[in-house]
């Protein structure tokens, strides 16, 4: 059901925020749940206490590897567009406009988190 809400919200360009994690003392559990929420497509998580914000935010930020891959993809997309190509292959995977927009989203999150200039 959560995935269905995320899918529908994404189509409307809405950002889905995951629900609160109520155990204030289980920071590893919060981090694990935040990583899972990110895998489902959530862009944030509700925090109810200041100690929850550090791990929560880092779990929802793109990794250095994801940032580098997104940068490569955006650069390759621009080069292929300049050459008049539409969809193309990068690292054995098809890249088209929706994939490029997802990569731009990764870079936007990285910038917002101060991980990228």
Among all residues, which ones are annotated catalytic?
96
CB 21 within 8 A of CB 30: yes
Residue 45, beta-bridge partner list: 18
Tokens of 2: 């959560």
Residue 90, beta-bridge partner list: 93
Query: Which residue bears the tokens 């269905």?
Result: 4
CB 115 within 8 A of CB 61: yes
Provide the 10 A C-beta neighbour count for residue 21.
22
Residue 89, beta-bridge partner list: 94
């Amino acid at each position: 059901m959560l995935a269905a809400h995320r899918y529908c919200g994404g189509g409307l360009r809405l950002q889905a925020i995951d629900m609160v994690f109520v155990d204030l003392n289980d920071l590893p559990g919060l981090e694990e749940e935040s990583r899972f929420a990110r895998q489902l497509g959530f862009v944030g998580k509700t925090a109810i206490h200041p100690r929850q914000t550090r791990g929560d935010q880092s779990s929802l930020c793109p990794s250095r590897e994801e940032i580098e891959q997104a940068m490569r993809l955006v650069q390759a997309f621009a080069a292929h567009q300049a050459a008049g190509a539409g969809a193309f292959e990068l690292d054995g995977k098809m890249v088209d406009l929706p994939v490029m927009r997802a990569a731009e989203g990764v870079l936007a999150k990285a910038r917002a988190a101060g991980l990228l200039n």
